[in-house]
A and B are shown apart, each in its own frame.
Chain A
Amino acid sequence: MAARVPVQVSPPEVAASVRALTRRFGDRTVLDDLDLEIARGEFVALLGRSGSGKSTLLRALAGLDDEVEGGLAVGESVAVAFQEPRLVPWKRVRANVALGLARGDARARAEAALAEVGLTERADAWPLTLSGGEAQRASLARALVREPGLLLLDEPFSALDALTRITMHRLVLELWSAHRPAVLLVTHDVDEALLLADRVLVLDEGRIAHETAISLPRPRHRDHPDLVSLRTTLLAALGVSPEGTA
């Protein structure tokens, strides 16, 4: 078994710092000597082919993987929202959001977080009765109520319909501007990355193979000429030729 990674608290200017991170499953090396730094308050999107190791990297940052090798330094507070909302089915929505908060004002904080994601009316609902979008918003509220320094999102919108996804993009931007956590958003959707992120990374062969900073102000329009050319570049980095060409 690999040596456990010492998780140090990172210096104040970075939210997370990864040095020479390696993860093997048997003889397959999924993350290979990977370096990554995320600044405080920075919104980073991570693209990559299916199976390229995006979730593996995110789980390592979340402290869910005890068998990674290399250096990993994340700030004191990390929160995660997964692709499936993973709400605890036997706790009402409010209790889900308040789970793990120190007693005292837990209820009030949970309600404030639910109000922020527009779920006040559903606070007393059972998770299994929520729609997909509602469940994902509850999951976001549960992550944000902890005021994380680093918010990890693993394809949180990929199961939602296109309209709900647009609403969720707005919501995430609003929440991000209000609380300013650093965000690492794993996604398959190049447009989602372009519309939301300060920096877009492409993971390939176990490393960050491509990196683009986007300085356009938000809200962005997907037809902006800068984004159009970036899209072509990113798709090429992902090994996909843009539509219309063969």
Chain B
Amino acid sequence: MSVLELETEVRAGARPGPRPQSRRLPGRSWHRWISPLVLVVAWQIASATGLLPTRLLAAPSTIAATALDLVRDGTLPTAIAVSLQRVLAGFAAGAVAGVGTALVAGLSRAGENAVDPIMQMLRALPFFGLIPLFILWFGIGETPKVLLVALAVSFPLYLNTFAGIRGVDGKLAEVARTLKLGRAQLVRHIVLPGALPQTLVGLRQSLGVAWLALIVAEQINADAGLGYMINDAREFLRTDVIVVGLLVYSALGLLTDALVRLLERRALTWRREFLSR
């Protein structure tokens, strides 16, 4: 649900009638599983008959077995832990930087003039192109990987939070003025909560790029983590391990996305109750 959609619904006014249950028809949802299942079965058959050589892509059954082995011998949990740590550290640093600069730029003209041009310039940089510089500056340890994630995370959060702050309804700011709210109260009661929906949009985008940045960073020079596991498998033509690594990346991506959705549902109850009636 985008802010835009919400606004049109709010404008549409009074009480919307009961809405058609178009969202999800519970009884039919299994229909959607048929085609993926068919695909997996076809893939398995192609592998078993030798049509699809293991050198190119391992069979689904092999992949499942490998996944189990990797979990049992601890390779996968360790790799996930290492990668997760990188993403968390990078995300935390990037979120603080992104939201912090957005507050500076959003809350005053002087701040905007100071911060926004720089952020717009940096944003134009292809940040994966910074990798060589990062390696020169920070070596090949954890720092460049975490920083790459932080950089990737900070821009969506900056842009969305800044837009969110500037998009807060001026009429509410007037209300705050007539209620004699001070500046700090204005920020706390009106500006920040008003910017929150947009910030959460930024949060979802930034988590998406966080995983992407991690994958790229881990391709270059890792000695641990999911990227290392995948690279190592390539050396030995283990397509099964590569696929397991990719699946884990996407599962982690989906998981973090689900977390943000949960956060959204909790933080934006005031909208949800309205939209769901």
Contact = CB atoms under 8 A, between A and B. Distances in A.
B189 to A, nearest CB: 6
B32 interface: no
Contacts of B266: none
B190 interface: yes
B178 A62 contact: yes
Interface in B251-277: 269-271, 273-274, 277
Contact of B180 (A100, A129, A142): A100
Contacts, number: 58
Q: How large is the interface on A (under 10, 10 to 19, 20 to 34, 35 or more residues)?
A: 20 to 34
Interface stretch (A21-29, A88-96, A189-197): A88-96
Given A86-B172, A126-B270, A64 B178 contact: yes
A228 interface: no
Interface in A123-153: 126-129, 131-132, 142, 146
A91 B189 contact: yes
B177 interface: yes
B274 A129 contact: yes
A99 to B, nearest CB: 6
A131 to B, nearest CB: 8
Interface stretch (A46-54, A77-85, A113-121, A173-181): A77-85
B181 interface: yes
B177 to A, nearest CB: 6
B10 interface: yes
Contact of A86 (B175, B181, B269, B271): B175
A64 to B, nearest CB: 6
A63 interface: yes
B34 interface: no
B71 to A, nearest CB: 43
B190 A88 contact: yes
Contacts of A78: 178
Interface string A162-205: 00000000000000000000000000000000000000000000
A130 to B, nearest CB: 10
Contacts of A79: 178
Interface string B1-20: 00000000010001100000
B86 to A, nearest CB: 34
Given A86-B172, A88-B172, A129 B273 contact: yes
Interface of A: 62-64, 78-80, 82, 84, 86, 88-92, 99-100, 126-129, 131-132, 142, 146
27 contacts: A63-B177, A64-B174, A64-B177, A64-B178, A82-B171, A82-B175, A86-B172, A86-B175, A88-B175, A88-B190, A88-B193, A90-B193, A90-B270, A91-B193, A91-B270, A99-B179, A99-B189, A100-B176, A100-B181, A126-B269, A126-B273, A126-B274, A128-B10, A128-B274, A129-B273, A129-B277, A132-B14
The 6 A-B pairs at the shortest CB distance, nearest first, are namely: A100-B179, A128-B274, A126-B270, A80-B178, A90-B193, A90-B270
